[in-house]
Amino acid sequence: MLLQFHPWASAVEAPFWQVLTQRKMDVFKLDDSPKPVMGYYSTGQQVKIPGKDTTVALPARLCLGPPAFPDNDPNVSSGYSPDVLNRFLLITFADLKKFKFYYWFAFPALVAAPAWSSDAMQDVSQQFSTAQVDSLRGHLEQYRQIYPSSQHGFFLIKQHDLTVARLQDWDTFYAGCNDDQIIVAFADPSSLDSHPGWPLRNLLALLQFRWKRTNVRVFCLREVPGKSDISFSKIFTATLEEYAPVTEIPKAVGWEKNAQGKLGPRLADLAPLMDPIRLADTAVDLNLKLMRWRVLPGLQLEKVQGTRCLLLGAGTLGCYVARSLLGWGVRNITFLDSAKVSFSNPVRQPLFDFVDCLEGGKDKAATAAANLRRVYPGVIATGISMSIPMPGHPVSAQGYEAAQKDVARLEQLFDEHDAIFLLMDSRESRWLPTVLGAKKKKIVINAALGFDTFLVMRHGVGQDKETSYGTGSPLGCYFCNDVVAPTDSLSDRTLDQQCTVTRPGLSAIASAMAVEMLVSLLHHSSGIRAPADRADTDDQGATAEENALETSTLGLLPHQIRGFLSRFKNLLISGQAYDRCTACSDSILEAYDSEGFAFLLKVFQDAKYLEDVTGLTRMKEESENLDMDWDESNDDEMFSDDD
Amino acid sequence: MLLQFHPWASAVEAPFWQVLTQRKMDVFKLDDSPKPVMGYYSTGQQVKIPGKDTTVALPARLCLGPPAFPDNDPNVSSGYSPDVLNRFLLITFADLKKFKFYYWFAFPALVAAPAWSSDAMQDVSQQFSTAQVDSLRGHLEQYRQIYPSSQHGFFLIKQHDLTVARLQDWDTFYAGCNDDQIIVAFADPSSLDSHPGWPLRNLLALLQFRWKRTNVRVFCLREVPGKSDISFSKIFTATLEEYAPVTEIPKAVGWEKNAQGKLGPRLADLAPLMDPIRLADTAVDLNLKLMRWRVLPGLQLEKVQGTRCLLLGAGTLGCYVARSLLGWGVRNITFLDSAKVSFSNPVRQPLFDFVDCLEGGKDKAATAAANLRRVYPGVIATGISMSIPMPGHPVSAQGYEAAQKDVARLEQLFDEHDAIFLLMDSRESRWLPTVLGAKKKKIVINAALGFDTFLVMRHGVGQDKETSYGTGSPLGCYFCNDVVAPTDSLSDRTLDQQCTVTRPGLSAIASAMAVEMLVSLLHHSSGIRAPADRADTDDQGATAEENALETSTLGLLPHQIRGFLSRFKNLLISGQAYDRCTACSDSILEAYDSEGFAFLLKVFQDAKYLEDVTGLTRMKEESENLDMDWDESNDDEMFSDDD
């Protein structure tokens, strides 16, 4: 009777795939070299069908669970470890974006030529008495206590005393024994009455090759798990018709068939089992990590993701900035805006829909936050409907308390965030946030649009005496170039001044640049105090090599980017902090420190007060006395603001 | 009894505001100079209350309807036209984004000092017999037939024969008459029994100033509209206590009070009356037109809006391109993509939400189109789930028919669109669209992303022998730099190769640039055959002045923009069409022309066939024989493709 074997059936537990996913994301990354993986199996089991007197044979399952990845390479193949007889191969492709796992097992087994045949399998009770079985069980328990589990799969039994030994001890164990004393044993996953399990194949090959056996009694160890009961075990004799010396590596078989009974991979689709929000988390995380694995090992994704961002303005710039932040994995985004969504907004502001404009329009800030969560539920997005008190926009007696509250709320928001984006629709609304940014030394990124030009800049941290710069002077803010205080530009604006007139592509470009500038800044060792990099092609001094000494992991970190869409060109510019600046100079910060809201109130009532405090008024008077031309131009012409 | 007047009540019909909106958008634009506007009024009416025997006096309404804007300035104030006595002023601010109209009427009337007094008003029947009334009515009808309507508001009546004449004919009409013959008449909007209407004020001022009257009989013409019945008219005598010569311009009154009874503007909020979709249309249109009015009179918005755009790929690039097109007012956008929305998409692809990923993900193309319509219902957006046959991706016997269908569908789509964007995730999928673009001479805009670099380019139109270029040679396509055919780069890709690894801000920038390049091209007189502009700072030859001779209204129109986010820098590059190009060369187009689908099939089966057809194979062999190094690098390293 030709000896046939009960083949393995792979059984991968869902948690295995989850552990594999974690390993891939956090440990293996792009490494696609083979990894050790451990499976386990139980010896052949039959299950009683409830209420009936029959049993059903379970498949011979090779199981992979969460502990399948050994922390250290166990190096299982050293020496005579019989583990080598029981090796398997798992080829798997984890589509982590979709949580689909393609896999294919191989249980390599050497093919004997000619094939082994066998007599009929017998129950252990047919060949051994109860006392003998008890004795064998005792020896086996002892054996298992002495030797590690790698020796448990295969072992030797001596017929006359039923003692047990390791395969590698063959020569000493059977020394002086006749052949009839030899019983080779293996932990048999098969539960079939007529066939042993697959692991026996390689054991027989070993017997043939190493000990030149053509005839051997085989003990198929089968147990009820958890019970010390080996009475389900089987015994039979395997025979080779004639001895054929093994001269070359025999053929091997053992690829597992898939559910369709064909040679091909199986698919485990875990997506339906998973919380879709966790699926999205993993997929988004993966996309970001791929950047680190594949291109930039120095990428500090966690730092970017942990940066809490406050977006002042939820218009075209605010919406596009939020989308780019989301792309970078930023989890904490707060919008501040006082307007409602109007009908002209959605086509240019990518967080609003037509429906948001109906019935007078929803609050922009809250709607932007809600729609951001609709894109990605993992984001913590908040919308605050509030306007920012502005120089030259007087506060009435009734409005006093509200203005004071607004300032306090804004201070609190600055404390609660790490990076503040200035994305609003007027020059003067940027003043108070600029002051607060300098006072609290927060990252401030500023973006403003013209018709086909844009400005993206990071603010310096005021005069910042704490740090000495290589270049000598700290970087300026949005107001450092001006000698006039920002004042009311909003009242009595005509139709065309009410909305920003810009080429529609411009805000997407400026917003993305603003976010990329933030991310570059976060990757610079000097952070908010990083000096300004300039393009290597300009003639302003530093060469590319000098710049390279202190750049961000992501490249140049300029102070200001001025973009010109009509030439598809950007200019990198840097500007120093101005000691008479109406927003970030010492005199302003000191006045606010000492007088608090009372100081702001004076500014709100009359913006010219800023020029008095900073000394601009006196300077202008002096220069007027000198009868010089005074150029009052500022960049308003070129860079208007967002709606 | 002091003479008092029934004041005007303005009555603006909703269609007037619609006509005003059209005029503002299409004619006035930014012009804020005064415009002539015509109102109308009916003579005093009383309305019978149904079922009761009393009547109610209607307000004296000055009405503005759609014909309020005369096509030619009627120049109503010339000569003695009595229109000048009945002028009104309308100050209005149309908030076209919200469809709110603020307006304030003035009905200027000169104040008499001292004031006029009057006796009690009498019905016309108390002073005239029925025969006299009939006679007056007859004369009046005649008068109205002879003189234009500008003379109908005020006229003269002679007591003895009840003939009628113009104001300006006073001296001849009343020549030789006693003062008791004089009756001045006006079309009286008042319906009150005791008070004449407002127009009388300026008539009395005229009588006092010009004819020095201190006593005059006044005929208040009141009619039932449509009926020749003047029996509701009133007569009374107005008297000045003493004659006071008018030496300076008298004070004037007449600002209308608002609904709150205060001097201030009224508000007509038409938004609730309007179809929100039309509101959105107008608001979006306005935003675009403001660009033309304010910055660029040469802006061809209609040309841009009418450009039908086919987006091959609905990933990060496709979504951002669609949003920028929407911002430009493009109304016809078709997406083509074969993928489903996956969990990693929404945070980077701004037309998808979390919910689109559930249950295996929706079709990307259809979902992008649906969500675009959700943003702006006025867009005609279509999604086609289809993959593009590719070189080196063999078509099986069963797939033959489907592939042939796909090619036919793609050809049809090219015919149906004006501009094609190549925004897909592999090099080889761009091949067939490049061929079709060259064959059909369509605008092809191509965008591809690296980690922190991007390429945006417009394709030339193949070898394009029809046109002779100033620079001598036509522009190249995406494949013109290569000497290897595009082939299967998709099969067996690992995890990191399956999705584009790019800095998240990059796709927004590249997409917006791609759209702006299209718009610039549409504004170039040579359109698709425009030569390549280069930046004025480069040393490649042409100066800014030379370039300026033939640029787009919107600025430079380069051939290729290569962007480097690590330096926040763009490089403008131009490349010639290559006569052995595997996509746009004559040999390829001719092979496709003559063999049709059979040619494509050979290419799909084996991309190398392209190298045979174009002569690249022979060229390589020859150069190999020369033992030269052959550089097979292409820009794949630098620019991968979008997912």
> Dihedral sign, CA of B58, B59, B61, B66?
negative
| B8 touching A (Cβ < 8 Å) | no
Could you tell me if residue B287 is inside a domain?
no
Say what the pLDDT of residue A616 is: 87
| A498 touching B (Cβ < 8 Å) | yes
Say what the pLDDT of residue B631 is: 43
Taking the alpha carbons at both ends of chain B, their separation in whole angstroms is: 88
Give the mutation candidate from B375, B454, B500 for the A interface (greatest A CB count, under 10 A).
Answer: B375
B266 CA: distance to closest CA in chain A (Å): 17
Among chain B residues, the shortest Cα distance to A553 is held by: B566
Give the mutation candidate from A367, A503, A521 for the B interface (greatest B CB count, under 10 A).
Answer: A503
| B57 touching A (Cβ < 8 Å) | no
CB-neighbour burial class of residue B445 (10 A; exposed 0-12, middle 13-18, buried 19+)? buried
If asked whether residues A171 and A93 sit together in one domain, one would say no
Could you tell me if residue A596 is inside a domain?
no
| B265 touching A (Cβ < 8 Å) | no
| A342 touching B (Cβ < 8 Å) | yes
| B142 touching A (Cβ < 8 Å) | no
If asked whether residues A247 and A265 sit together in one domain, one would say no
Please provide the DSSP assignment of B11-50 as one string.
Answer: EE-HHHHHHHHHHIIIIITT--S------B-----EEEPT
- 3-state secondary structure at position A531: coil
Residue B125: its H or E element: helix B124-127
ipTM field = 0.79
- Which residues fall within 8 angstroms of residue A436, CB to CB, at 6 or more apart? A410, A411, A414, A420, A442
The conformation of residue B114, written as its DSSP 8-state character, comes to: S
List of chain B residues with pLDDT < 70: 71-80, 225-226, 462-472, 488-500, 535-550, 626-643
Judge: B495–A377 Cβ closer than 8 Å, yes or no: no
Report the CATH number that the domain containing residue A189 is assigned in CATH: 3.40.140.100
If asked whether residues B384 and B515 sit together in one domain, one would say yes
Q: Which residues from chain A sit within 8 angstroms of residue B318, using beta carbons? A: none
* Closest CB to B291 among A501, A556, A568: A501
What tokens appear for B306 in the block?
């009418």
Host domain of residue B188 = 117-251
* Closest CB to A535 among B327, B354, B567: B567
Judge: A284–B558 Cβ closer than 8 Å, yes or no: no
Amino acid letter, residue B399? G
More confident residue, A530 or B417: B417
If asked whether residues A452 and A555 sit together in one domain, one would say yes
Question: For A504-522, what is each residue's pLDDT tens digit?
Answer: 999 999 999 999 999 999 9
Could you tell me if residue B632 is inside a domain?
no
Cα separation, B540 vs A571, whole angstroms: 20
Question: For A87-122, what is each residue's pLDDT tens digit?
Answer: 999 999 988 877 889 999 999 999 988 899 999 999
Confidence (pTM): 0.79
Could you tell me if residue B35 is inside a domain?
yes
Cα separation, A207 vs A176, whole angstroms: 18
Say what the pLDDT of residue A466 is: 55
Residues of A taking part in catalysis: 499
More confident residue, B482 or A638: B482
Query: A208, A204, A210, A212: which is closest to A236 by C-alpha?
Result: A204
A596 CA: distance to closest CA in chain B (Å): 38
Q: Which residues from chain A sit within 8 angstroms of residue B30, using beta carbons? A: 494-496
Query: What is the overall mean pLDDT for chain A?
Result: 87
Judge: A508–B509 Cβ closer than 8 Å, yes or no: yes
Among chain A residues, the shortest Cα distance to B375 is held by: A353
Q: Give the number of domains in chain A.
A: 3
Q: Which residues from chain B sit within 8 angstroms of residue A293, using beta carbons? A: 496
Judge: B354–A376 Cβ closer than 8 Å, yes or no: yes
What tokens appear for B322 in the block?
């669609």
> Where would I find the H helices in B185-265?
199-210
If asked whether residues A318 and A361 sit together in one domain, one would say yes
Judge: A294–B512 Cβ closer than 8 Å, yes or no: no
If asked whether residues A171 and A268 sit together in one domain, one would say no
Could you tell me if residue A637 is inside a domain?
no
If asked whether residues B132 and B74 sit together in one domain, one would say no
Residue A284: pLDDT above 90?
A: no
Report the CATH number that the domain containing residue B524 is assigned in CATH: 3.40.50.720
Judge: B357–A276 Cβ closer than 8 Å, yes or no: yes
- Which residues fall within 8 angstroms of residue B57, CB to CB, at 6 or more apart? B44, B45, B46, B190, B191, B192, B193
Could you tell me if residue A163 is inside a domain?
yes
Judge: A284–B343 Cβ closer than 8 Å, yes or no: yes
More confident residue, A643 or A9: A9
Task: Write out residues 292-331 of B within 8 Å (CB-CB) of A.
Answer: 293-296, 320, 323-324, 326-329
What count of CB pairs under 8 Å joins A to B? Answer: 260
Over the range B363-375, which residues count as b (16 or more CB within 10 Å of their CB) and which as e? bbbbbbbbbbbbb
> Which residues face A492 on adjacent strands?
none
Query: B589, B613, B584, B611: which is closest to B474 by C-alpha?
Result: B584
Report the CATH number that the domain containing residue A95 is assigned in CATH: 3.40.140.70
What's the CA angle centered on B459, arms B456 and B465, to 5 degrees?
160
| A505 touching B (Cβ < 8 Å) | yes
If asked whether residues B416 and B535 sit together in one domain, one would say yes
Say what the pLDDT of residue B544 is: 47
If asked whether residues B196 and B313 sit together in one domain, one would say no
Query: A270, A69, A38: which is closest to A150 by C-alpha?
Result: A38
Could you tell me if residue A410 is inside a domain?
yes
Q: Which residues from chain B sit within 8 angstroms of residue A290, using beta carbons? A: 495-496, 499, 501
Say what the pLDDT of residue B639 is: 47
| A608 touching B (Cβ < 8 Å) | no
Cα separation, A354 vs A345, whole angstroms: 9
If asked whether residues A445 and A552 sit together in one domain, one would say yes
Judge: B324–A504 Cβ closer than 8 Å, yes or no: yes
> Where would I find the H helices in B388-454?
400-416, 431-440
Say what the pLDDT of residue B538 is: 46
B337 CA: distance to closest CA in chain A (Å): 18
Pairing of strands B380-385, B332-337: parallel
Q: Which residues from chain A sit within 8 angstroms of residue B286, using beta carbons? A: 344, 495
If asked whether residues B392 and B464 sit together in one domain, one would say yes
Q: Which residues from chain A sit within 8 angstroms of residue B510, using beta carbons? A: none
| A493 touching B (Cβ < 8 Å) | no
Domain C-terminal end among A252, A280, A314: A252
Could you tell me if residue A622 is inside a domain?
no
Judge: B377–A354 Cβ closer than 8 Å, yes or no: yes
| A513 touching B (Cβ < 8 Å) | yes
Cα separation, B427 vs B490, whole angstroms: 9
Contact criterion met (CB below 8 Å) for B560 and B452: no
What's the CA angle centered on A495, arms A492 and A501, to 5 degrees?
120
Q: Which residues from chain B sit within 8 angstroms of residue A307, using beta carbons? A: none
Task: Write out residues 558-587 of A within 8 Å (CB-CB) of B.
Answer: 558, 561, 564-570, 572
What's the CA angle centered on B256, arms B252 and B259, to 5 degrees?
160
* Closest CB to A501 among B290, B565, B566: B290
More confident residue, B13 or A640: B13
**Number of other residues whose CB lies within 10 A of the CB of residue A539:** 5
Give the mutation candidate from B282, B307, B568 for the A interface (greatest A CB count, under 10 A).
Answer: B568
Q: Which residues from chain B sit within 8 angstroms of residue A265, using beta carbons? A: none
User: Catalytic: B480?
Assistant: no
* CA count, 13 A, side-chain hemisphere, A506: 28
Q: Which residues from chain B sit within 8 angstroms of residue A561, using beta carbons? A: 568
Say what the pLDDT of residue B3 is: 94
Pairing of strands A100-110, A443-449: unpaired
Confidence bin at A292 (pLDDT 50/70/90): confident
Residue A326: pLDDT above 50?
A: yes
Q: Which residues from chain B sit within 8 angstroms of residue A94, using beta carbons? A: 495
Axis-axis angle for helices A586-595, A597-605 (nearest 10): 120
Residue A496: pLDDT above 60?
A: no
Amino acid letter, residue B608? K
Question: For A327-371, what is each residue's pLDDT tens digit?
Answer: 999 999 999 999 999 999 999 999 999 999 998 899 999 999 999
Residue A626: pLDDT above 90?
A: no
Judge: B348–A355 Cβ closer than 8 Å, yes or no: no
The Cα diameter of chain A in Å comes to: 125
Among chain A residues, the shortest Cα distance to B553 is held by: A566
- 3-state secondary structure at position B552: strand
Q: Which residues from chain B sit within 8 angstroms of residue A492, using beta carbons? A: none
Say what the pLDDT of residue A637 is: 40
Domain C-terminal end among A579, A596, A616: A579
Among chain A residues, the shortest Cα distance to B560 is held by: A568
- Which residues fall within 8 angstroms of residue A228, CB to CB, at 6 or more apart? A137, A141
Query: Which stretch of A175-189, A296-310, B212-226 has the lowest confidence by average pLDDT?
Result: B212-226
Task: Name the most confidently modeled range: A5-9, A187-191, B271-275, B370-374.
Answer: B370-374
| B536 touching A (Cβ < 8 Å) | yes
Q: Which residues from chain A sit within 8 angstroms of residue B324, using beta carbons? A: 504-505, 508
| A542 touching B (Cβ < 8 Å) | no
If asked whether residues A328 and A382 sit together in one domain, one would say yes
| B80 touching A (Cβ < 8 Å) | no
* Closest CB to A505 among B97, B376, B516: B516
Judge: A327–B555 Cβ closer than 8 Å, yes or no: no
Cα separation, B340 vs B362, whole angstroms: 5
Cα separation, B446 vs B321, whole angstroms: 11
